């Protein structure tokens, strides 16, 4: 019985037009992708090679930048965008190398996006720039989905983490052209299977390039530097 009018019909609303459910779907990353495309076009026009460095917190992204900049700044004109939720600690560390740097604080945000990067570029002289390093917020989840306009993502994994990280966070390692296994100077003191780590990374991303490095001892950095030199040269030729 209808509770509104007492008739024998099942509960209903008199005179009400039947409702239709309409599903509206939109790519929430569409705006970001458009801005990323604009960043990428700008990099191509200026001949700037750009990398998006991603990792868990503490894997050594800033240490890698400090060492790389110190060793190559006489050959390559660098600039760095630093992404963190709070503080300018990492930007202050990079500034000691003499390389131009700009800090981006995301607040509660867990990643950089293309809009932030686009505005960050306003702080650099792109005409003299050859390579942009973007240090993303420490996180192996969110940054995988956000294109910044970079040429390549570079995932950093330290031997103080589990070798199964590529299996746990496949989207990130699938999106990365390069995986750096850092802190190999600590291998005698930790339980980390490098061979398994390489196998897992290649399982989720066949063909991924893997460099085993130590920012502390310098081991393996020559191969990383050679790759950077090669890519910067290619980008300048195309530009």
> Residue 195 sits in which domain range?
48-238
In a domain, 20, yes or no: no
For residue 25, the model assigns a pLDDT of: 46
Task: Tell me the pLDDT tens digit for each residue of 57-111.
Answer: 999 999 999 999 999 999 999 999 999 999 999 999 999 999 999 999 999 999 9
pLDDT band at 4 (very low <50, low <70, confident <90, very high): very low
Burial of 144 (C-beta count, 10 Å sphere; 0-12/13-18/19+): buried
Percent of the chain with pLDDT over 70: 89
In a domain, 39, yes or no: no
In a domain, 38, yes or no: no
Sheet hosting strand 78-84, strand order edge to edge = 101-105, 78-84, 131-135, 49-55, 152-158, 176-182, 209-212
For residue 17, the model assigns a pLDDT of: 55
Integer Cα distance of 111 and 105 in angstroms: 10
Number of independent structural domains in the chain = 1
For residue 220, the model assigns a pLDDT of: 98
In a domain, 18, yes or no: no
DSSP state of 189: G
In a domain, 40, yes or no: no
Mean pLDDT score across all residues of the chain = 92
Question: What backbone phi and psi angles, to 5 degrees, belong to 100?
Answer: -60, 135
In a domain, 8, yes or no: no
In a domain, 106, yes or no: yes
Q: Residue 144 maps to which CATH number?
A: 3.40.50.300
Average pLDDT for 218-236: 96
CB 41 within 8 A of CB 197: no
In a domain, 42, yes or no: no
Burial of 225 (C-beta count, 10 Å sphere; 0-12/13-18/19+): middle
For residue 236, the model assigns a pLDDT of: 83
Task: Tell me the pLDDT tens digit for each residue of 6-41.
Answer: 555 554 455 555 666 665 445 778 999 999 999 999
């Amino acid at each position: 019985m209808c509770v509104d009018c007492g008739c024998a019909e099942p509960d209903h609303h008199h005179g009400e037009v039947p409702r239709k459910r309409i599903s509206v779907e939109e790519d929430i990353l569409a705006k970001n992708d458009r801005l990323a495309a604009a960043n990428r076009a700008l990099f191509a026009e200026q001949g700037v090679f750009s990398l998006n460095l991603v990792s868990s917190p503490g894997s050594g992204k800033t240490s890698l930048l400090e060492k790389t900049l110190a060793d190559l700044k006489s050959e390559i004109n660098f600039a760095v965008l630093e992404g963190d939720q709070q503080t300018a600690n990492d930007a202050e560390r990079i500034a000691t190398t003499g390389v131009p740097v700009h800090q981006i604080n995301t607040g509660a945000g867990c990643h950089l996006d293309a809009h932030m990067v686009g505005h960050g570029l306003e702080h650099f002289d792109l005409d003299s720039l050859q390579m942009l390093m973007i240090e993303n917020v420490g996180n192996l989840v969110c940054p995988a989905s956000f294109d910044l306009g970079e040429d390549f993502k570079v995932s950093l994994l330290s031997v103080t983490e589990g070798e199964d990280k590529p299996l746990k966070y496949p989207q990130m390692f699938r999106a990365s052209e390069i995986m750096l296994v850092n802190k190999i100077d600590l291998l005698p003191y930790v339980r980390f299977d490098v061979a398994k780590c390489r196998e897992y990374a290649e399982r989720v991303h066949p063909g991924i390039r893997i460099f085993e490095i130590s920012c502390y001892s310098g081991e393996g950095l020559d191969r990383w530097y050679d790759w950077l030199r090669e890519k910067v040269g290619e980008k300048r030729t195309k530009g």
